[in-house]
Structures are given as structure tokens and as C-alpha cells.
Amino acid sequence: MEGSAAQAPGKTVLRVVAISGSLRRASANTGLIRAAAEICRESIPGLEVEHVDISELPLLNTDLEGPGPGAFPAAVEAFRGKVRAADCFLFASPEYNYSISGPLKNALDWGSRPPNCWGDRAAAILSASGGSGGSRSQYHVRQVGVFLDLHFVNKPEVFTRAHQPPRKFDHDGNLVDPDTKDQVTKVLLALQALALRLQLGKLAVAAHSS
């Protein structure tokens, strides 16, 4: 595992790095992340959500990397630092043409450049999209996450049909639907439980091998 201090087991507050795959101002997916941050502040002690903006990342081009390993453009280096420092991840993934959005894939790819910054931590996925609710994009995020060595929350799955009644988001992309808020809360609790289980497992392995 490429680690950081944040991955040391036994912490009581878990830092969730949250990434929206939509760059749109009134994005419903970014709205899901804002709602997740608010839910954690109000009702989930021990979980803190930080929305990490990916709009400044250049399109991946390995020519932009320096000659030595780990030399990246400033925006990429800052992003990779946030990923390394996370205890776990929350992705809000719009579905574009049955798949993951370009910006999200770009961010995942930058974080994966050696040394991989994502490895061996828990991750959960939300999605707000058209008719599918983003299910196909979520399964593509999971597929990419295999190689990144992420451990995904399996259940509950939350696929939000953003543009179908009942109204779920206001004109600014803020989540206004109580049922969806409830589903987001359940995903966050499952993420917290999985992240803690992973940390405790690492403690047990360390104790066993010492």
C-alpha cells in the first residue's frame, strides 16, 4: 500500500475525499456531494467530507510529467496529495453514453500514475443521471477501481434519476428530496463501516506480524 499518515489505523475521524464527475455549475452529482457533506456534519460523527474539485486538472498527457518519477504539473500534484491523504473516497458519477464521465476518468488516471495514490482504501459511489440513474457509470467506476486497488461498498446502491419526478434537485443542483437524502445517508454509513473495518484489519495484520 502506498500510504499516508491519514491511513494510520485507530483514527476516530475519517476524511472522505469526494469527487464529482460533472463540472457543470448546477450539477446534480456535485449536489449529491454537498448533501453528503451536510449529512456528515449534522448526523454522522467521525466522517468528514471534503469535495475535491477536478476542473483544473489538465487532460492526461504523460508528456506533462517531469523526467523523474513523481514530477507532475502543480494542479495534478495538489490533487494527488489530497488523494494520498484521504481515508476513503466518495465518487458522484454521472453517466455519459453508458459510461463514466471524461473528467472523472481523467482524475482517476492522474491519481493512478506511479506511485498509485488510490490504493487499499474504501470507496463508495453515488450517481445522478438520466433514465438509468447512472448504474452503468457506477459499474465502470468499479471496473477501473479494480486496478486502482479500491475496495467498494457493495450495498446499498443508489441510482438517482435526476430529472424524473419527484423533484430531487433545485435549479442550483442542491438535493431537495428527502428519500434520496436518506439513501445517501445509508451509503455514507456503509462507507464509514467499511473504512473502519479495513483500518482495524490493518491493525490486526500489523499485530500478527510483529
Ligand X SMILES: Cc1cc2nc3c(=O)[nH]c(=O)nc-3n(C[C@H](O)[C@H](O)[C@H](O)COP(=O)(O)O)c2cc1C
Residues of this chain that bind ligand X (CB under 6 A): 22, 24, 27-29, 94-98, 128-132, 162
C-alpha cell belonging to residue 130: 438520466
Q: What is the closest distance, in whole angstroms, from the C-beta atom of residue 19 to ligand X in the complex?
A: 12
Minimum separation from the CB atom of position 137 to ligand X (A) = 8
Burial of 6 (0-12, 13-18, 19+ CB in 10 A): middle
Q: Which is nearer to ligand X, 129 or 138 (CB)?
A: 129
Q: Closest approach of Cβ 208 to ligand X, in Å?
A: 44
Shortest reach from residue 109's CB to ligand X, in Å: 19
Closest residue to bound ligand X by CB: 130
Instruction: Give 45 or 131: the residue with its C-beta nearer to ligand X.
Output: 131
Q: Please identify, using beta-carbon distances, which residue of 129 and 199 lies nearer to ligand X.
A: 129
Instruction: Using the minimum distance from each CB to ligand X, give the nearer residue, 141 or 196.
Output: 141
